[in-house]
Amino acid sequence: MTSLSKPVASKPSGRRGRPPAAAGDALTRDKIVATALELLDQHGLAAFSVRDVAKTLGVYPAAIYWHIPTRNALLAELVAHVLRDLNPKCAVAAWQDWLRELFIGYRDAIRLHPNIAPLIGAQLVSNASMDFDLMERMLQVLSEAGFRGQRLIAAFNVVIAAQVGFVTLEFAPAPAEDPAGWAEDMQRLIGSVTAERHPLLAAHLPRMANRSFTLRWQNGTVISLDSHFTAYIETVIAGLERLASQIN
Amino acid sequence: MTSLSKPVASKPSGRRGRPPAAAGDALTRDKIVATALELLDQHGLAAFSVRDVAKTLGVYPAAIYWHIPTRNALLAELVAHVLRDLNPKCAVAAWQDWLRELFIGYRDAIRLHPNIAPLIGAQLVSNASMDFDLMERMLQVLSEAGFRGQRLIAAFNVVIAAQVGFVTLEFAPAPAEDPAGWAEDMQRLIGSVTAERHPLLAAHLPRMANRSFTLRWQNGTVISLDSHFTAYIETVIAGLERLASQIN
DNA sequence: ACCTGAACACCGTTCAAGT
DNA sequence: ACCTGAACACCGTTCAAGT
C-alpha cells in the first residue's frame, strides 16, 4: 500500500504525556482500521459510519478524527489493508501462471471481505493501493510476455482493469432495503421471459437465473461463480498472448 | 431497462383532482430523473442528495418520495437512463464487430455522464439494468462465436464483466476533498521511485504518470485512455476467439 | 392523487475545553 | 498528544395534514 496522506504522525516526542490508561486502551490507527473492517464485514458499506466505529471502540466520534482525517481516508485504508500482501511469489513460473496467481489471489482477498468490493474501482484513491514492488513485478512479467514501450503500459492497464472487473461485479451488494421483495421482483421478471420473443434466453434461463450478472438476486458471497471466473482469466490471458504475438 | 420495483403508478383514475398548477409544474418521475442526472453530472455522487433534487425542483423533499421509493432506487433509475439505447445495430457484422460496437457504445454512454461510473458495478440493482433484447442478442452473438450450453453462460458473464471493468476504473472519481493536495501527494509519491529498486517502473514513469490506473491523479474525463481501451477490447475479443476455438 | 410542513433519527466534521 | 463534550450543518425518510 502506498499510504498517501497519512498524517505525519509527529514522533512520540520523548518523555511527556501520561501513559495509555489501561495498557490496551490507547486508541490507535490500527485498532480503528481493524474495528472498521469488522463493522464493514458485518453490516456492509451502506450501514458503515464513523460514529459506529467510535461507539464500538467506546470512544467519542471526534476521537477518531485525531487519527484519521476523513471517512473516505478510512475507507481507502480498509481497501489497502484488504489488498496488502497480494504479490504473487516471484517464482520461476511463466508469465501466464503469474497472472493466474495474481487474479486468483486478488479474488480470494476480496472474498474474505466482500463488502469492500464496491469501493475498489469506485475511487481513484483505492485505485492507488498497489505498491511499487507489485507494479515493478507486473511490468517485468508483461515484458517477458513481449510487450514494450507504449504497449507495455497499455497491457499494464488492461491487466489492472481485468483484475478488478469480474470481482467487482461478482460481489456487488444486493439492495439493503427489502432484499426478499427484490428477489421476488427479479424472479417474477425472469418468469416473464417468453420463448417467442427471446428464444435463446428462454432456453438458457435455468442456467442463467441467479448466475448471470444481469439476472441475479444474490451475489458471489452466496452463489460463487468459480467456473465463470476461470473462463474470464483464461480469456484475458489468451487475449494477451495474442496481442503480444501480434506486436513482434 | 428492466424497471424493477417501479411503483404500480395506479392509473390516473378518471376525472377527480385539480389539474396541474401551471401546466408544467406537475412533478413527474421523468422530471425528477432528469434533474437528478443534471445534479449528478455537475457535482458528483459524493455531493448528491435527494434534498438537493427537491430544492432544485422547487419542492419539499417529501414530494420526491411520492414518485420514488428511495434514494437508491433513484440512483438505479439514473443508471438505467444512462444505459438505455445501448443495443448495437443488429447488422450483418461478425460477432467480433458486434462486441466492439457494444464496448465502445457502453464507454461512450458513460462518458456522457461519467459520475455514474461508481454506481455501475457497485450494486446488484444496477447490474440488472440490461433489457432482454440486448441479452438475447448477446447470447445470439456468442452462439455464433461457437459457445454452447454452460460455456455460453460463462462467455456471457465474461463479456459483461469485461464491459464494466475498464470503464469503471477509467472514470473513477478523484477524491472530493482537496484534489489539488492529493494530486501533489501522488506526484511526490511518483517522484520517490528509484531506478535501483524499481528499474522498469522508473524507466516507464513518464509514460505511466497520470496514465496508468495505479498512478493517476485525474480520471478519464480529463485524461482519456483511448488507445488503452482499444487494447483492452482487442484482448477480450482475441481471448474469446481462442476460448471458442478450444471448445470445438 | 399529490404535495406541504414538520418532525425523527441519524450523519460527517469542527472546535473549544479538559488532562 | 490525545480525548471529551457539545455543537453545526447537513442527511434520508416518515407522517399527519392540507387541497
Closest C-alpha among B83, B157, B227, B35 to residue A235: B157
Angle formed by the axes of helices A199-208 and B149-170, nearest 10°: 90
Whether B86 shows a pLDDT value over 90: the answer reads no
**Beta-carbon contacts of residue B136 (< 8 Å; ≥ 6 apart):** A197, A198, A199, A200, A201
- What pLDDT sits at residue A16? 30
Contacts of B231 in chain A (CB under 8 A): 151, 154-155, 157-158, 243
Q: Compute CA distances B126 → A41, A166, B106, whole Å.
A: 22, 15, 14
Give the tens place of pLDDT for each residue, A147-195.
999 999 999 999 999 999 999 999 999 888 888 888 898 999 999 999 9
- CB-CB contact of A171 with A219 (8 Å): yes
Q: Do A166 and B165 touch (CB under 8 A)?
A: yes
Closest C-alpha among A92, A168, A159, A183 to residue A123: A168
b/e burial code for range B8-46 (CB count within 10 A of at least 16 → b): eeeeeeeeeeeeeeeeeeebebebbbebbbebbeeeebe
List phi, psi (to 5°) of A90. Answer: -80, 30
Residue B169's Cβ-count burial label (10 Å; 0-12, 13-18, 19+) is: buried
Give the tens place of pLDDT for each residue, B39-81.
999 999 999 999 999 999 999 999 999 999 999 999 999 999 9
Q: Compute CA distances B111 → A41, B72, B123, whole Å.
A: 33, 22, 20
Cell of B143: 452462439
Contacts of B193 in chain A (CB under 8 A): 132
| pTM greater than the 0.95 cutoff | no
- CB-CB contact of B137 with A182 (8 Å): no
Nucleic strand D contacts from chain A, 2-41, CB < 7 Å: 10, 12-13, 17, 26-27
- What pLDDT sits at residue A176? 81
Residue at minimum CA to C1' distance from nucleotide D2 = A66
Residue listed under C-alpha cell 437528478: B36
Closest C-alpha among B153, B167, B159, B207 to residue A239: B159
Question: Could you say which of B127, B198, B236 has the minimum Cβ distance to residue A172?
Answer: B127
Q: Count Cβ–Cβ pairs < 8 Å, chain A vs chain B.
A: 272
Give the tens place of pLDDT for each residue, A209-240.
999 999 999 999 999 999 999 999 999 999 99
**Beta-carbon contacts of residue B61 (< 8 Å; ≥ 6 apart):** B50, B51, B54
* Residue A226: count of CB within 10 angstroms of its CB: 10
pLDDT category of residue B248 using cuts at 50, 70 and 90:
low
